[in-house]
Amino acid sequence: TMGTTFIIKIISAQPFKNYQNLEIGIDSVLEEINRQMSTWDPNSELSRFNRNKSINPIPVSSQLFKVVKSAMSVSEKTNGAFDITVFELMGLWGFGPSPKDGIPTDKEIEKVLSNTGWEQVKLLENDIKKLNPNIKIDLNAIAKGYGVDQVFNFIRGLGYKDVFVEIGGELRCSGKNQLNKSWRIGIDNPNIGDYSSNEIAAVIIMDNRSLATSGNYRNFVNIDGEIIGHTINPKLGKPIQTNVLSVTVLAESCMNADGWATALMTMDYESGIEIVRSEKGLDVIWIIERSDTSRRVGRTNGVKIEDSIYEFIQ
């Protein structure tokens, strides 16, 4: 789903008598999200919204409105470090359904940035208004998290308590695993440049929370021999350059964790932890590369780490 894989685990003392119905129900939830928020489907609700150049309020579904509202909240709290109006910008750097070839020029970036900016989108009661008719929205940095939440809530609504839902690395879990222990999640050790390792950087103990990780080590393109990561600074219109290799966010909802992971990936560690300290309900793990190429782990106080191959920043 959503251009990636998904895994669902349900621990039940009773045999699954309605397994096929459960599978059909999960598929229908995922299909509905794709119909609403896919940038790849030209007939999706989001694609139709992006083609609409009216500056009058545009009616949207409650689901799409909810995701955009959550995204706008993260944008406001991070002063635009997270921005869903980057549809054209992502394509300019070779990502999305209509990628451009070659590294963009400053002039091309400047032109796209003139039609970018979360402040150009206004939320009304059930409508979304474009202040700039050329604004296009990309929800790929938050829709997976929303999808996890929707599938999780669907399964929990059937009465199951011990549940694990993961879509493309974003996940939410509750209860216990098959060993009757809290779910444990391994955080990848980023393979970047000449660095290659199959080790898990850290193991997180999950207590009925959601988790999302953002990093440039999985999703990238090769443009004229230069490797470009998919995290673009929405203010500068260019790929990020920070000391952060990956960010993992823990929150109640996976949608919130997903958005914040992307936002924090555009900042250095010091800036990120300063913002997170004032945001309730978030816990974060940073994998950071020092100037000597050694790695350290930064974390907030609420993170329960069972094991880590790196030292922690004090």
Asked if residues 305 and 204 have their Cβ atoms less than 8 Å apart, the reply is yes
- pLDDT for 223 equals 43
| Cβ burial 245-263 (10 Å sphere, 16+ → b, else e) | bbbbbbbebbbbbbbbbbb
Whose tokens are 């206004």? That residue is: 122
Number of H helices, E strands in the chain: 8, 18
Q: Does the pLDDT at position 227 exceed 70?
A: no
Asked if residues 200 and 186 have their Cβ atoms less than 8 Å apart, the reply is yes
Mean local confidence (pLDDT), 130-157:
95
Which of 148-157, 200-209, 270-279, 284-293 is least confident?
A: 284-293
- Cα 98 from Cα 95, distance rounded (Å): 7
**What tens digit of pLDDT does each residue of 191-218 get?**
665 555 667 888 999 989 999 998 754 5
CA distances in angstroms from 133 to 49, 125, 137, 150, listed in the order given: 11, 20, 12, 31
- Chain-centre distance for alpha carbon 200: 20
Backbone angles phi, psi at 240, to 5 degrees: -70, 155
* 22 or 228: which leads in pLDDT: 22
266: nearest Cα among 121, 142, 82: 82
- pLDDT for 186 equals 92
- pLDDT for 220 equals 41
pLDDT-derived band at 122 (thresholds 50, 70, 90) equals very high
| CA diameter of the chain | 62
Helices (H), the chain: 19-37, 45-51, 62-77, 87-92, 106-113, 143-157, 254-265, 269-276
Q: Does the pLDDT at position 226 exceed 50?
A: no
Asked if residues 208 and 175 have their Cβ atoms less than 8 Å apart, the reply is yes
Sign of the Cα pseudo-torsion (251, 189, 233, 58, in order): negative
Cβ neighbour number for residue 71 with a 10 Å cutoff: 28
Mean model confidence pLDDT for the chain:
87
Whose tokens are 């929405």? That residue is: 234
- pLDDT for 195 equals 54
pLDDT-derived band at 314 (thresholds 50, 70, 90) equals low
Mean local confidence (pLDDT), 149-178:
95
Helices (H), 78-228: 87-92, 106-113, 143-157
- This prediction has a pTM of 0.87
Q: Does the pLDDT at position 229 exceed 60?
A: no
Mean local confidence (pLDDT), 265-291:
90
- pLDDT for 197 equals 65
Gyration radius of the chain's alpha carbons: 20
Q: Does the pLDDT at position 173 exceed 60?
A: yes
- pLDDT for 193 equals 56
Asked if residues 92 and 109 have their Cβ atoms less than 8 Å apart, the reply is yes
- Cα 269 from Cα 289, distance rounded (Å): 10
- pLDDT for 181 equals 94
| Cβ burial 28-43 (10 Å sphere, 16+ → b, else e) | ebbeebbebbbbeeee
pLDDT-derived band at 219 (thresholds 50, 70, 90) equals very low
- Chain-centre distance for alpha carbon 82: 10
- pLDDT for 99 equals 61
